[in-house]
Structure 1
Amino acid sequence: MSTRHLRRVYGNDVLTKDEYDDTSDVEPITRDEKLKSFNVFNLLNEKFECETINDTENETAVEHEEIDNDKSNKKKKKKKKKIEKSSKIQDVEKSENLQDFESIDEIERTVKEVNKLLGEPAPCSSKIQDINSCNIRDNILIVQHKHLNAANEMRRICGSKVSLRENKNNRGRSRVGLKKLWLTSHTDWFPTAKFGLSMAIDNTIKSSGGVQYFIFVHSPYYRQIQMKFFDAVESQNPENIVNILNTHPCNIDALLQFADLCKVNEDLQMSAEYVERAVYYLECAFHPLFNITSSYCRLSYKHQANRALFIALFKHLMFIGDRACNRTSLELCKFVMSLDPDDDPLAIILVIDFYAIRAREYQWFIDFCQYWEEKKNLTQLPNIAYSLALANFHIGNLDVANELLQNALIMFPGVLLNLLDKRGVETDTKVLGHDHFGLRAKNTTSIALEKLQDLYVLRSYHLWKESTPMSILSWLESAVHAVMGRIDAGDEYTKFCEMKRIKRYQGKPPRNVLRHIILSDMKEVTINHPGINNGEVIFSYDPLPPTDSVDIYLKRRIIHRSAQQNTNLLSLFVSSLFTNPNSTVVGDAGALNHVNNIHEDPPEEFD
């Protein structure tokens, strides 16, 4: 008996090699292929088996042929129906198009007749311009989620094996719960309980055009901790700030202040970690409607509770930029600027060009300058003037780049020699001997404008070192020689720029520029100058608050200080009975005068 017969008898069990016949040409099969009904006595007749097998094979073949024929017939019928439908649709469309053309012709004829009688109307392109401007604005200020994480950019730069610490932090993202965080890559700092900081919609400011204002809210518990922080800052004892962080690790101002202490001690890694932790806690307190990618969420810098987000993000993007994560820093610049684009309280406009060029977002930067030029006169800043020319040079617009670079050299001649000095290039004797880049540049450059030029040179001098198909140095050299030729020929534009430079940049720099210089923390650029700093006390957690600041702690601080003054005076009076009766209190009186003079008007600022 063959193995086929045995399988049918024993229920299609799989047989071993020793059990089944070697002469059979059929492999063992499994139980799944067992027939539903089978008569065992049919095995006695081999002919019956062969006939049944042949019959079943023939039947299956016939069935397959019939099924194939049915399918082919159905396909043919469907094709015919589709062809008929398409022909009908084409006929209908042709008739409709003819009717449309006829109606359009009639309308055009009537319009032409009316225009002959009443005159041609002016072209109405205001709506189109508004739509284009809105599209440009959305494309410029939009923030992309994928470029907000510095760890992702580090992986793109250095590869997948960046650090074990970043991988561990990314694994713990599920601990945050339903809330998705974007500004930082850490998740092990998530507060286990409410720490007193939240965000609400600011109804005191009217919103228009889809813009919505928000405000950070401090709970009574958080206000008590904040008053302790103010006392710790005034005590000038770093241990008091450390004690606050040990007991209340989510206090934002204490984190920022301690980060600056770490930076003074040259512990940059610890400083960056505390700044990032402050950004993390601020993001945990965001309102559900506060969208960081949108350009329609605003925060007023006048409110003291809102200023921590601006300052923390500024310091955070600076630390990230030092790690060569330029695209992440650019996206953070967009976010900070979108919070208050009109006032720009931290002067992000002085650094956004640097990160745009470093991230090779040349076209974006050109579009950004074109959009904001009419509102803010961006080309009147030295960093924008030179960076805009450099961006056009990188994308191949050489004619535009040459014109912009020559204009920048004429308007801001003091940049050239400092740039070449930092670049390590030996300056041509013709350039050194030319009056436009020498004595005249120094005499017509005010102190405030000199600070802006020094900021740009110290921050962006290595951008002029990059190798390109056409050397940047040769391009700069040709532009300098062209400018000297225009000046020697008596070009009127050079005289206009000189008069503009003398009149426009006189006076004290704006308050947002001073904040930018303080937060940038460059040793070569400071505000320690009689014409800039008027002796105002500067705190790193809130440098130079606005003159119209809305401070919920001002009254409490004044009352608290007056109480301390009374206790100090009482103790001094008691001590004077046993020591020197001519002792006076000078420092405390000066502190009271400083508190009373918080809202004094600042000196005039240049436009």
Structure 2
Amino acid sequence: MKASIDQVKMSARQAKRLAKEREAEANAESDEEVDSEDEELVEKRPATAGFAFLADSDSESDEESEEEQEEEVVEKPQVAVPESPKGRKRKNKKKGKKKTQVYGSDEEEEGDEEESVDDILDALAAEAGNVSVDEATSMRNTQEQSIFGVQLKFANADKEMKRIFGVKEGGHANNRKRGDPRSAARVATKKVMMVSPLDEWPRPPTFVSGGIRWTRSNKPKGAGWNSLCNYFEITWSIAYKKLQEEFELLQRTHDPNLIAHFLQRYPYHIDALLTMSEVFQHHGQMDHATDSIKRCMYVLELAWADQFDVSKGNCRMDIQTEHNAGFFKALFLLMKQVGRRGCMRSAFETAKLLLSLDPQGDPMNVLLAIDYYALTSRQCQFLIDLFDSKTPAVDRFASGEVASKKKAGKKASSADETIAALPNLQFSLALAHFFLGNETEAKDLLAAALLKFPTMLKPFLEKIAANPSSSSWQPILSSRVFANARSVEGEHSVLQHLLDIYVTRNHSIWKVNAAQSFLLKSAQHALASPALVSANPQVLELPSCLHKYLRAVSADYSDEITTLPADHPMLQPPQLQNGLPLDAEALAALARAQEEFEAGNLPADANPLLLFLQTLLPWNHVQGAGQQQQQQPPQ
């Protein structure tokens, strides 16, 4: 009996020991799975890039594909798998400690404080909701993903035009030239969603052959960056950097003809395409302007990394990171052009993609237009969710002194420092509820917005062709609330600037009879409710975090074709690198140098080693060389 008891005890100990060993093995296996996934991504990427390169190129050798694989191996540290919140926090803490020990500067301490604002907000939200900090952070991340996730199937303006006019999709794809290897390779390599490439377009270069690509990056410094998001940046190849130097030299001449000739040789240079798109638009050549921006988006989308999944809404990019600004500008120009064509759903998805890259920073001021595209495409729930998200506003371009003063004098509540304080979002929120059938709530919201911004009503009525002197509007405009409203006009008035942009951008939505009737009833409701009047005093100044929108250009929010701004590079006098203007002789010399470069002529007084290497290329020849042998017959 005693022996059996001992055996039972032994078996119990063994069972416990086995359970502990199994738990340890499970934890080890989970860690190994994460490591193996990381290794898989790192190892698979060169192979994938190599096969894509073989599929993209028509006549490039195997040696170049080997060079591509070698380059990808060098880039291994940039490819990273999204980490768990806990692991990432530990890693960030270690990095912060290391930086403090090495540098110990006050600026980095301020940067750490700014970066920890989101963590503090998550901790406060967790405390208020009786949830853990990780759960609060995950909830905020899920909310951002649900709001900023992009549906690329609705982002193509050409397909939207077919849906509008009832044309069945797929006809053009089936009628493609079956014998064209370019079309077949284009379909086989990667599906492009935002634009429809034409068969006659040349193939964009791969990264090895002089193109660009998307790579993973670390979370940028500063406030407003979510630690659970994925961060990316655009990387230029060495050949593309040389093209950029040539383009910048041509851009200093401010001659569109030189840039157009540059594009004939390099049809997928991002900045050149963006410049020519604006120039074509300035001259009223909208077809060429649209073609330029579509080519630009075509090469950009082909360069997207596999992890750059915009449908999840968690892909971020910093416009201040080198080479990223072109993508932001291309999306903004595409949004305006497809909006002018009447493709409102495509414009909305493009605007949402642009906003999702940096929701708090909003460097392209797309929040001043996204409400218009959301309402015209009947995506009203998006506006309600965006307003309820209370997304903080951050100025990415604020100087250090302005940021420090703002931090020292900041006394406003966190609710005031959000995008919900934007006037256009408050008016559009009411209209969104009205379109969804929530008339009572919509009337209260619009009445509150009119009381906060009473100076907007009269010019708005004139813009929508309503008669302010009519018997319906005269009693309202002569009331104490609207007649005695304080003026907000001023040279640097952010509020007046945003109200003017709203009237310019959104007035067409209010021209329908139902919307004008809703506006009249809401204004009458505002005057008839003393509680609303006392609860919504006139706003005379916007929070300091919204002062960044003073940089928004009013012409960017109008469908009218306008001329180029006075500070556009193409309207400036030609300049050299030192800033001095180019005279006629300098322009002629530049033109001769450009012609000689295209013809392959090399100056005889160049660096001897460089000259020798360049002469190895079959299309180059040295000026003056071989003149004594010109009389000899060719061999």
Tell me the distance in 2 between the aligned counterparts of 1:505 and 1:374: 11
Tell me the distance in 1 between the aligned counterparts of 2:129 and 2:465: 55
Are residues 1:202 and 2:217 paired? Answer: yes
Deviation at 1:151, TM superposition (A): 2.4
Aligned to 1:138: 145
Q: TM-score under structure 1 normalisation?
A: 0.61
Tell me the distance in 2 between the aligned counterparts of 1:369 and 1:490: 20
Deviation at 1:422, TM superposition (A): 1.9
Aligned CA distance change for structure 1 residues 282 and 373 (closer, same or farther; 3 Å): closer
Quote the sequence identity (%): 27
Tell me the distance in 1 between the aligned counterparts of 2:369 and 2:220: 29
Tell me the distance in 2 between the aligned counterparts of 1:314 and 1:407: 31
- 1:350-372 superposed Cα distances (whole Å, 9 cap, x missing partner): 11111111111112221121113
Aligned to 1:493: 535
Aligned CA distance change for structure 1 residues 174 and 122 (closer, same or farther; 3 Å): closer
Deviation at 1:241, TM superposition (A): 0.8
Aligned CA distance change for structure 1 residues 131 and 396 (closer, same or farther; 3 Å): farther
- 1:182-238 superposed Cα distances (whole Å, 9 cap, x missing partner): 121115333265333222222474896432221112222212221222222221211
Structure 2 residue corresponding to 1:352, chosen from 370, 375, 378: 370
- For residue 150 of structure 2, what is the amino acid of its counterpart? V
Deviation at 1:455, TM superposition (A): 1.4
- For residue 196 of structure 2, what is the amino acid of its counterpart? S
Are residues 1:318 and 2:303 paired? Answer: no
The answer to whether the Cα contact below 8 Å between 1:175 and 1:187 also exists between their aligned partners in 2 is no
- 1:543-580 superposed Cα distances (whole Å, 9 cap, x missing partner): xxxxxxxxxxxxxxx9x824x86999x99xxxxxxxxx
> For residues 294-373 of structure 1, what are the structure 2 equivalents within 5 Å?
294-372=312-390
The answer to whether the Cα contact below 8 Å between 2:219 and 2:227 also exists between their aligned partners in 1 is no
Aligned to 2:522: 479
> For residues 25-424 of structure 1, what are the structure 2 equivalents within 5 Å?
124-125=130-131, 133-160=140-167, 172=183, 175-188=186-199, 189=201, 190-191=203-204, 194-203=209-218, 205=220, 209-372=227-390, 377-424=418-465
Deviation at 1:518, TM superposition (A): 5.9
Aligned CA distance change for structure 1 residues 457 and 394 (closer, same or farther; 3 Å): same
Aligned CA distance change for structure 1 residues 364 and 164 (closer, same or farther; 3 Å): same
Deviates more, 1:191-200 or 1:271-280: 191-200
- For residue 272 of structure 1, what is the amino acid of its counterpart? T
> Whose RCO is larger (CA < 8 A, sep 6+)?
2
Aligned CA distance change for structure 1 residues 150 and 434 (closer, same or farther; 3 Å): same
Tell me the distance in 2 between the aligned counterparts of 1:268 and 1:186: 17
- 1:394-447 superposed Cα distances (whole Å, 9 cap, x missing partner): 112222212111111011123222222122111222234345435635356763
Tell me the distance in 2 between the aligned counterparts of 1:462 and 1:527: 24
- For residue 502 of structure 1, what is the amino acid of its counterpart? L
Aligned CA distance change for structure 1 residues 202 and 516 (closer, same or farther; 3 Å): farther
The answer to whether the Cα contact below 8 Å between 1:435 and 1:441 also exists between their aligned partners in 2 is no
Are residues 1:450 and 2:517 paired? Answer: no
Aligned CA distance change for structure 1 residues 492 and 517 (closer, same or farther; 3 Å): same
Tell me the distance in 2 between the aligned counterparts of 1:150 and 1:341: 24
- For residue 485 of structure 2, what is the amino acid of its counterpart? R
- 1:364-388 superposed Cα distances (whole Å, 9 cap, x missing partner): 2211211135665333212101100
Q: What RMSD in Å do the two structures reach over aligned CA positions?
A: 3.9
Tell me the distance in 1 between the aligned counterparts of 2:426 and 2:234: 36
The answer to whether the Cα contact below 8 Å between 2:495 and 2:540 also exists between their aligned partners in 1 is no
- For residue 248 of structure 1, what is the amino acid of its counterpart? Y
- For residue 201 of structure 1, what is the amino acid of its counterpart? R
The answer to whether the Cα contact below 8 Å between 1:449 and 1:505 also exists between their aligned partners in 2 is no
Structure 2 residue corresponding to 1:504, chosen from 536, 542, 554: 542
SS at match of 1:198: strand
Deviation at 1:159, TM superposition (A): 0.6
Aligned residues: 418
SS at match of 2:310: coil
- For residue 504 of structure 1, what is the amino acid of its counterpart? L
Aligned to 2:619: none
Deviation at 1:132, TM superposition (A): 5.1
SS at match of 1:217: strand
Tell me the distance in 1 between the aligned counterparts of 2:360 and 2:169: 39
The answer to whether the Cα contact below 8 Å between 2:214 and 2:304 also exists between their aligned partners in 1 is yes
Deviation at 1:527, TM superposition (A): 13
Instruction: Give structure 1 stretches of 5+ with no counterpart.
Output: 1-120, 529-534, 542-557, 572-607
- 1:286-345 superposed Cα distances (whole Å, 9 cap, x missing partner): 223222222222211112410000000111011111222211211111211111122110
> For residues 524-603 of structure 1, what are the structure 2 equivalents within 5 Å?
537-539=567-569, 561-562=577-578
Aligned CA distance change for structure 1 residues 168 and 354 (closer, same or farther; 3 Å): farther
Tell me the distance in 1 between the aligned counterparts of 2:528 and 2:476: 11
The answer to whether the Cα contact below 8 Å between 1:141 and 1:334 also exists between their aligned partners in 2 is yes
Deviation at 1:393, TM superposition (A): 1.1
SS at match of 2:385: helix
